[in-house]
Amino acid sequence: MAHLLVIGGTGMLQAAVLNWNEEGHEVTMIARTKESLLRVVKRAVHPDCIHMIQTDYHQLDSFQNQLENLSAPDIIVSWIHSSGKEAIQAMCDLYGTLQKPISFFHIKGSKAHDPRHNYIPKFAENIDYHEVILGFRITEDISRWLTNQEIADGVIQAVKHPQPRCIVGTVWPWSARP
């Protein structure tokens, strides 16, 4: 069983966190509010295997301290907005000093399909880096953004079948985005 560290796991990734918990993995969630963290823990099948870290990834010192006090995860699933690039790099720097292999799934918005808008952190060799880009869906000529369930299902599949880049839904044709 793996230890997953999930940043931003109390929002649209909630169903993914609950799925990994149900499969018996240890999951550590990071979010700012106790309310959002507790909401997920209350729905967990194995509440003893789900851990909460209440911190803001914009508060870099506190974010780093919390990670330093945590046993290193096997898998990181990171949904961090573009304002939190420093936190992403800080995670890569911290875990890049270890010998342990760590899979890093970087969840990104649809714009990241364009190299001009794609942020990729620097990472050491022990970090197996994967991008998961959230696109949109086109059904019967109507395009819409993904639902939370579609996002969670896509991320579960991306972690189960790791590829360097996975697109949930589509980003083509870009002009058809909602």
Residues that bind ligand NAP (CB under 6 A): 8-13, 30-33, 36, 56-58, 79, 109-110, 134-136, 145-146, 148
State the minimum distance, in angstroms, from the CB of residue 73 to ligand NAP: 16
**Radius of gyration for the chain, computed over Cα atoms and rounded to the nearest angstrom:** 16
User: CA 105 to CA 27: how far, in whole Å?
Assistant: 14
Q: Minimum Å distance from CB 8 to ligand NAP?
A: 3
Tell me the closest approach of the beta carbon of residue 170 to ligand NAP, in angstroms: 10
The DSSP line for 132-145 is EEE-EEEETTEEEE
Q: Give the contacts of 1 (CB within 8 A, at least 6 positions apart).
A: 23, 24, 25, 26
CB of 50 to ligand NAP, least distance (A): 14
Minimum CB distance to ligand NAP smaller for 32 or for 165: 32
Give, as one character, the DSSP assignment of residue 100: S
Q: Round to whole Å and give the CA distance between 69 and 7.
A: 16
Judge whether 133 and 166 are in contact, CB under 8 Å.
yes
Nearest CB to ligand NAP, comparing residues 31 and 75: 31
Indicate the residue among 123 and 136 with the shorter CB distance to ligand NAP: 136
Q: Which is nearer to ligand NAP, 10 or 64 (CB)?
A: 10
